[in-house]
Chain A
């Protein structure tokens, strides 16, 4: 990377032109899965028209009054696709028009189908003046193109206007009739399925995971075109919405082509983002993981995932042949982050690498180290690499956007790799300028790849990219987790979507079939790099589970905790927050200033994370996401992750406070006080998070593990590698404390802030991963929410950076506190997938947006199990070895007995039954009220005048009953036409089984107002807008025949205000996968047996890891 801010021409004219000439992409397909390269330049033969798009406008309701005189509306509808427009008749004088139009038919080619949205405009007819637009509906046709997903689309859509918001609803039916036979059609890029979900979607199995796909398209932003000066805000907003819709369609189609080229049929972990570069243009870019997915033929079997016969399934997996001896010898590792900047920080490192890339690596001990660019490990490592290389060499970037993997896929995890680059956006339109966005990203990806290599890893998983833009400066970031993958799985992995197991994490149970360390859930922790040639200083110890392999003392990753991972206790959300002031400058000086600050910010964030992790007595971070936001005079960093205690890693040492060397007694006293507070807090946290790792005797660690204690079957493969062990000095690898030096006031404040971080209130857990390990008994109540806050900092310049940090930290803490307060009725519950987004929209404004889902769980189940199996499971007293034995017994026996319950079948049945009963009884009650009116009547019978309040409090006393009533709503509320649609950022729905994926939802909305005060100020405006966005997502999902959105994400929420002009504007981009799910309780009883066994095993293992 350059030493200075790279310049780049922005909207590459070539790409922009493509949008205007969509016909220039043409391709032919012949034979299954073979593809003739799309001819990018030539205008080759066009694909034949694949079909007819048909749309019918049925009716409208709740329309706004457009004619003040009559208090009514004369509405009609324009239906537009491509350049063809149809109109319905005018339905006079009604707010609930019944058009019942004919089927409007559009003859289209597949490219248009993919790129263009169906545009429906509702207008008010006016004889004398121009017709007034009421609002629009854009419908993405893409979900209808896959032969597996929805065949038609029909339902009520909110009519949306960018100035007025939702204005009534319209009932639309859409169908696509295909001329070509399905087989041929399926080969076009149209048939490629897209999933936001970052794991193999349930009801599919991955035949092959091909790898990374990326694409970006650039255009001018209509908001900044000259024409914008003369058109209305509405026209401008609509132009923008339409353009982005077109660009996403185009992008998706292009990615689809790449997938076909690779031989795949789906993109998993699809992440599409917009960069609003202002004057310089608009970039839409996307990354994803190309896969070949097979639909699981039998829905029933997919419901009984491999747990019914885990050993069998897993033994077939080539994983057991994995070259274990090799990896073992290459042993040791440390977690550690490996970061890069395009601008080298001026601070010197303990070891300077000679490579052009400067790697900044941080160790817990000293805080800094340095990785060497491309240093390969020892000979054995090379050998291993040889074996795996073939699987990867054809890949430019061996990246995977997945965060959850089929068992056996992920062999080892190296640590987090990340790279950032600061670029100057430039409006110079020079077609000859080679520097494009593509090149920028390629550069960063190259960087990431080399960091992965430095960690001895050939792949990067949990990979993501992001940007932060302020005026002309843009920070490009990429991060992921360096990992070693099982190469066989990449070519042919017959594994099924496994996320359903997430609900009942059963590490040991799950992997019994493997004659490998991974069966203990520790393999992924084993270092992939060469311990003698470590990329950074680290402390290695023997794995606390298998005692054979080296593990680092701390592990940071961007992925979900692997399913098979053995985890002790529960986890929690850990955040590091940081503000840095910078001078307001322009151009290159600005970029340089920013890039000089970045390394220090990363370093500080890392230190904070490490401190907070240790303070909670944990040793690993999952789902790490570091966001750097750039503003005019500030940089903000927010790192979020889920801290966990991974059983395989050593217990974290405490935090030791060290004062200045010349000190007086009162100062010493002060230090001692702080030290005590810290120690107390660690003890308290261990209790809260139930971290009771088995005590391992010191000599056990140092000396070879006695044979008798080993399960020979288990450790068989390890015996060969035991020679590699002795060199490592373990004495200091274990309990050393992390030293915090208080050498100035800053440090004191740092420690103070460390201590004042509020703990989550009792009954709550939080994490930014999909689920919290250690909680198994989720109930079906869920609440997805988005919360946005904007703060104004007064006199930023007068604040010290500590003050700023504190302010920012308070902002985040307060936000979390509000969430806990709001969701208090759901207790016990866990906030999952807590996703923070920070931005600096203006000079002194900080914007924080959070999207998460609150899941309830059943607290009572755990103690019950404990009673039933107290002797075997009393973990506190259980020695490690005992636990291992237990694990094995559990595994073997359940193998043997298959789906029968292990400990006491009757009890297990009891559990499931009692759980069942609880769920059913309120449901029955609501079932009885077959109609809405009846329901009301029933309720009213209990409400007598004056006694309403008592009823209300009764309701509150049984939140469960209400929760269940809520879920039965479609039944009890017969007169409502509204389908209940759940939304969740998770890839699954607790207590339910996803039976069908209906297509990707990717929506972009703009809302603007010129009467901000009248709409309730900025909060009123945004509140309504977010609610509208949710409503539109739900309506689209319902129209596709779905009842939930999974992997939902709000990718962008750009809010701008001008209170003086009484104006505000907001852009929101959301995406997710539309699915259809059925409640597990509704699934036939046939599956109960297996379910019971799953539940039982889940509980058992839950206790082991808990």
Chain B
């Protein structure tokens, strides 16, 4: 006797969150059954393996049918085919769009192109995430990217409206879209220690401060591109390192403020000029797209690593950057205060996030 056909359809669509997770994780129905058995569901429920298999298949079919709708969450909310309570709908959407940390670290900042998609088997092999799941996550990135790429208005809100995601997840997607659009380098070995969360915060800062939308929210420009004019202007900050007087003044102001307040005062004093040069050179170079991409690697190599080798703590870093930023205000000869604030506040936040003790 063989089962030819076996379906169960409820008026309210039955969804088992555990099975949904297995499906999202890219397991085949057979694997999912095996995993469920391993988790002891048979003992808990007294069911037999064929019952479990039938149940798993039903869920998998439902998910496959739902997937088309999940690609456009507003459609899921208004469709008639599956009657699901709103809480379940939000769970379905949220989990479908949730991505894995190891995966996003592999893909973050890469162009969401066919080429990247082809490399997903490597990503899969490296991360241990199934290829199927990698594809779903990649396609999600790409889908969200495509929809909001050309859209006006705040990025996070756009994502939220079109994909009905939670604040948190929409923010994460904003980071993914922003990184993909600006192609920030995140994969270098030196950046490996950084988590997605670190980058997500940096992205948030950059979006809030460095994009066109940041200065003028009603311009019909978008959150995804950096403000070119601002980047152009950044070279004006060079005066802080090219003008000897300014540099010395700046140094003495910072040193005065920090004396006795940080443990690494001496190292700071010796290295001040190097550090200042590093930060300002990064700013000055940002006009080149290539250097924008290298923003994070530059911050690590030019600033974070030297500090690390001198055993700065993150509070030291915080104290220094705060004083370094503030001190420039007292320099009468320095005329680019607004520019300076816009640059330094963001860089400070990024560095602080990226500086792990």
Q: Residues of A with Cβ closer than 8 Å to B? A: 61-62, 156, 158, 166, 169, 761, 783-794, 807, 810-811, 814, 817-819, 821-822, 824, 845, 847, 926, 932-933, 935-937, 939-941, 943-945, 948-949, 952, 955-956, 962, 965-967, 969, 972-973, 975-978, 980-983, 1016, 1018-1020, 1022-1024, 1026-1028, 1030-1031, 1034-1035, 1055, 1057
Contact = CB atoms under 8 A, between A and B. Distances in A.
Contacts of B45: 761, 821, 824
Contacts of B21: 949, 952
Question: Which are the 10 A-B pairs with shortest beta-carbon distances?
Answer: A940-B166, A966-B85, A973-B86, A790-B5, A785-B10, A1026-B9, A784-B11, A1023-B7, A790-B4, A1018-B5
B119 interface: no
Contacts of A784: 10-11
27 contacts: A62-B79, A761-B45, A785-B10, A790-B5, A791-B2, A810-B1, A819-B8, A937-B166, A939-B94, A940-B166, A940-B168, A943-B166, A945-B98, A945-B172, A969-B86, A973-B89, A978-B77, A982-B11, A1019-B6, A1019-B61, A1023-B61, A1023-B62, A1023-B65, A1027-B9, A1030-B83, A1031-B81, A1031-B82
Nearest to B8: A787
Given A789-B3, A818-B51, A935-B90, A1023 B58 contact: yes
Interface string B3-39: 1111111111110011001000000000000000000
A62 B75 CA distance: 7
B80 A978 contact: yes
Contacts of A818: 8, 51, 54-55
Contacts of A1028: 81
A1019 B62 CA distance: 11
B32 to A, nearest CB: 15
B57 interface: yes
Nearest to A965: B87
B47 interface: yes
Contacts of B48: 817
A1020 B8 contact: no
Interface hub of B75, B85, B167, B169 (most chain A Cβ within 10 A): B85
B1 A788 contact: no
A936 B94 contact: yes
Nearest to A951: B91
Contacts, number: 200
Nearest to A155: B80
Given A169-B80, A936-B94, A792 B9 contact: no
A785 B4 contact: no
A1042 B91 CA distance: 28
B17 A791 contact: no
A952 B80 contact: no
B242 interface: no
Contact of B61 (A786, A792, A847, A1020): A1020
A821 B47 contact: yes
Contacts of B58: 822, 1023
A803 to B, nearest CB: 10
A64 to B, nearest CB: 11
B164 A936 contact: yes
B78 A969 contact: no
B83 A788 contact: no
A956 B62 CA distance: 20
Nearest to A850: B8
Interface in B38-92: 45-48, 50-52, 54-55, 57-58, 61-62, 64-65, 75, 77-83, 85-91
B127 interface: no
A813 to B, nearest CB: 11
Contacts of A933: 160, 164
Interface string B85-127: 1111111011100100100000000000000000000000000
A1055 B5 contact: yes
Contact of B5 (A948, A975, A1022): A1022
Given A786-B9, A791-B3, A936-B90, 19 more contacts: A761-B46, A785-B14, A790-B4, A794-B2, A817-B51, A932-B77, A933-B164, A936-B93, A936-B165, A939-B90, A949-B21, A955-B91, A965-B85, A966-B88, A972-B87, A1023-B62, A1026-B7, A1027-B65, A1034-B11
Contacts of B93: 936
Nearest to B75: A62
Contacts of A967: 85
Contacts of A981: 11, 83
B4 A1022 contact: no
A1027 B64 contact: no
B283 to A, nearest CB: 32
B4 A794 contact: no
Contacts of B89: 973
Nearest to A1045: B11
A778 to B, nearest CB: 17
Given A783-B14, A817-B47, A945 B164 contact: no
A791 B5 CA distance: 7
B228 to A, nearest CB: 32
Residue from B7, B47, B81, B91 with most neighbouring chain A CB atoms (10 Å) = B7
Nearest to B48: A817
Contacts of B81: 158, 166, 1027-1028, 1031
A945 B94 CA distance: 11
A821 B52 contact: yes
| B8, B21, B54, B167 pick with most chain A CB within 10 angstroms | B8
A852 B91 CA distance: 27
Contacts of A821: 45, 47, 51-52, 55
User: Which of the listed residues B5, B85, B95 has the most CB atoms from chain A within 10 Å of its own CB?
Assistant: B5
Nearest to B98: A948
Contacts of A975: 77
Nearest to A1021: B5
Contacts of A1018: 4-5
Contact of B77 (A786, A847, A976): A976
Contact of B80 (A926, A965, A972, A1035): A1035
Nearest to B69: A62
B90 A969 contact: no
A969 B85 contact: yes
Nearest to A166: B81
A983 B9 CA distance: 12
B12 A966 contact: yes
A168 B140 CA distance: 23
Contacts of A847: 5
Given A973-B86, A977-B78, A1027-B82, A940 B169 contact: yes
B83 A1034 contact: yes
| A845, A982, A1019 pick with most chain B CB within 10 angstroms | A1019
B6 A935 contact: no
A845 B4 contact: yes
Contacts of B14: 783, 785, 822
A134 to B, nearest CB: 16
B94 A962 contact: no
Contacts of B13: 1027
A1028 B7 CA distance: 14
B108 to A, nearest CB: 15
B85 A1034 contact: no
Interface in B268-283: none
B5 A794 contact: no
Interface in B155-173: 160, 164-169, 172
Contacts of A956: 17
Given A944-B168, A978-B80, A935 B1 contact: no
